[in-house]
């Protein structure tokens, strides 16, 4: 793996005699380190985008398992290389993303929620390769193939209007996250993804075939491409419609926050949000049922599968200004519930961009999520003498305040009802903030 990493980084040292001039990002104001004397703009012209970012969540929990405070961090380095500019490989990208995640215990030792409370909290603090893939585009980039280490939560089941929320369930649906290690943050698997866009860019279809178990469970801090016997495969497919994207010339997929061209920034800022999608997923291998047994008294072996539907839409502008709008979003996900604690989940929320006219880059998001406890899990708990409730619920309110373009402070309030699904569990309140820097 170290040789693969070195090969990707070697791309950043390549240069070319001349390239056609194009608009470059405003590194001076949008990043803490600036343009490095024009070096980053030069790299951009040559097809290389390099960026680093840091997120820190500091939350105080009261209720749940125990009261207390905890801080977790997420540091990442992103390198995107346009191989058409570098080597003449038409419509080809290479991308790597290295993440370093530290701190744990906000939820594990404090709240005790089945869904989690911070989307950068991880079970094992580690530094690992999270993205490492190449993508080839065809037919004016309307069709693309991607291969490599790839987390599905960078494209599938995403809701852009919910992206600033800290609660994990607005990213990967909680019922999927609790299955046998899907390829999501921060544990990505090797796989292949194909994507198609209609000619007007309104309709898309995509699917991915992934290794069934990312990395090596015996070495939770390592990055490994390992196709072990019994891993099986994971497949996911999504079909979507984005009516506000008519005629928009998409860049090939890039989950990084590298600075976009000015015209794309303008589109994202003023074009509003509109997306409707449906998806299905399935594992090939079987896992023990948590309740049902066969004639010999052994757990039945079942495949995990599920799906989701989602929608998000900008409703109206504030004060007649295009960059200030109100967007609603919702998502429903479902799974078999044979081997997990949750089998249904509902997300609903509202985002206000620039709630104050004097602060154009701020956003306010209010969201509620409800995850139903799987009947088999409840039956298992009842057999152990534990009384459970029908669902775990969480309410979140967060304001992302842009101090500068490269420094954001995000006060956050969460209320979790019956964390862990236990009837006697104390409701939990979390208050704190996220700090975010772009270098």
pLDDT at 21: 41
The pTM for the full model equals 0.88
What token pair was written down for 85? 């500019």
Residue spans of beta strands (DSSP E) within 405-425: 407-417
Residues contacting residue 61 through CB under 8 Å, at least 6 positions apart = 67, 68, 69, 70, 106, 110, 111, 117, 428, 429, 430
Domain presence at residue 26: no
Domain presence at residue 6: no
Per the structure, the complete domain to which residue 274 belongs is given by 52-438
Domain presence at residue 218: yes
Residues contacting residue 230 through CB under 8 Å, at least 6 positions apart = 285
pLDDT at 244: 79
What token pair was written down for 67? 């009261």
What is the domain-level CATH number for residue 256? 2.40.160.180
Of the candidates 293, 292, 199, the one whose C-alpha atom is nearest the C-alpha of residue 248 is 199
Residues contacting residue 17 through CB under 8 Å, at least 6 positions apart = none
Q: What is the pLDDT of residues 112-127, one digit of tens each?
A: 999 999 999 998 889 9
Q: Is 13 exposed, middle or buried (0-12, 13-18, 19+ CB in 10 A)?
A: exposed
Domain presence at residue 38: no
Number of structural domains (the chain) is: 1
In sign, the C-alpha dihedral spanning 55, 58, 63, 66 is positive
Residues 98/51, Cβ–Cβ less than 8 Å: no
Domain presence at residue 337: yes
Q: Report d(CA 83, CA 249) in Å as an integer.
A: 19
What token pair was written down for 106? 């906000």
> What single-letter DSSP state applies at residue 278?
E
CA neighbours within 13 Å on the CB side: how many for 208? Answer: 28
In sign, the C-alpha dihedral spanning 386, 392, 397, 401 is positive
Q: Report d(CA 203, CA 234) in Å as an integer.
A: 24
Q: Report d(CA 323, CA 358) in Å as an integer.
A: 12
Domain presence at residue 174: yes
Q: Report d(CA 41, CA 94) in Å as an integer.
A: 19
Residues contacting residue 22 through CB under 8 Å, at least 6 positions apart = 45, 261
Backbone φ and ψ of 154, nearest 5°: -80, -20
Ordered mean pLDDT values, 10 residues apiece, the chain (439 residues) = 43 37 74 90 89 95 95 94 92 94 88 96 91 94 94 95 96 94 92 94 95 85 79 95 66 45 59 91 93 87 96 91 90 95 97 94 97 95 94 98 95 97 96 96
Residues contacting residue 297 through CB under 8 Å, at least 6 positions apart = none
Domain presence at residue 300: yes
Residues contacting residue 18 through CB under 8 Å, at least 6 positions apart = none
Domain presence at residue 42: no
Q: What is the pLDDT of residues 300-345, one digit of tens each?
A: 999 999 999 999 999 998 988 878 999 999 999 999 999 999 999 9
Q: Which pairs count as long-range contacts for 299-304, CB under 8 Å and 24+ apart, including other chains?
A: 302/336, 302/338, 302/339, 304/179, 304/180, 304/335, 304/336, 304/338, 304/339, 304/340
């Amino acid at each position: 793996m170290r040789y693969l990493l070195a090969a990707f980084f070697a791309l950043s040292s390549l240069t070319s005699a001349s390239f056609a001039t194009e608009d470059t990002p405003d590194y001076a104001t949008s990043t803490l380190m600036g343009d490095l004397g024009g070096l980053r703009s030069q790299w951009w012209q040559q097809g290389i985008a390099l960026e680093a970012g840091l997120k820190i969540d500091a939350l105080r929990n009261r209720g749940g398992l125990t009261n207390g405070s905890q801080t977790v961090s997420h540091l990442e380095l992103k390198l995107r290389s346009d191989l058409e500019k570098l080597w003449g490989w038409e419509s080809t990208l290479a991308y790597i993303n290295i993440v370093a995640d530290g701190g744990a215990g906000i939820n594990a030792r404090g709240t005790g929620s089945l869904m989690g409370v911070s989307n950068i909290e991880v079970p094992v603090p580690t530094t690992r390769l999270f993205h490492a893939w190449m993508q080839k585009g065809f037919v004016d980039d309307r069709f693309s193939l991607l291969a490599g280490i790839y987390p599905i939560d960078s494209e599938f089941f995403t809701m852009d209007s919910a992206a600033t929320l800290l609660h994990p369930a607005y990213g990967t649906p909680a019922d999927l996250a609790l299955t046998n290690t899907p390829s999501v943050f921060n544990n990505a698997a090797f796989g292949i993804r194909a994507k198609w866009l209609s000619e007007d860019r309104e309709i898309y279809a995509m699917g991915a075939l992934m290794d069934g178990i990312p990395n090596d469970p015996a070495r939770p801090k390592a990055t490994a491409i390992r196709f072990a016997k019994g891993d099986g495969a994971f497949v996911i497919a999504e079909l979507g419609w984005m009516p506000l994207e008519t005629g928009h010339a998409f860049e090939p997929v890039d989950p990084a926050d590298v600075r976009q061209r000015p015209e794309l920034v303008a589109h994202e800022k003023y074009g509003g949000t509109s997306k409707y999608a449906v998806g299905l997923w399935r594992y090939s291998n079987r896992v023990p049922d948590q309740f049902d047994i066969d004639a010999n008294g052994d757990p039945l072996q079942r495949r995990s599968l599920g799906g989701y539907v989602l929608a998000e839409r900008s409703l109206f502008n504030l004060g007649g200004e295009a960059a200030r709008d109100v967007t609603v979003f919702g998502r429903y996900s479902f799974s078999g519930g044979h081997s997990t604690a949750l089998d249904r989940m509902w997300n609903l929320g509202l985002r206000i961009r620039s709630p104050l006219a004097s602060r154009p880059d701020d956003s306010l998001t209010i969201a509620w999520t409800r995850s139903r406890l799987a009947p088999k899990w409840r039956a298992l708990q009842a057999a152990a003498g534990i009384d459970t409730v029908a669902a775990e619920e969480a309410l979140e309110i967060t304001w992302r305040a842009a101090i500068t373009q490269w420094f954001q402070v995000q006060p956050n309030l969460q209320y979790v009802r019956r964390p862990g699904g236990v009837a006697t569990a104390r409701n939990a309140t979390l208050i704190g903030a996220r700090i975010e820097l772009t270098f």
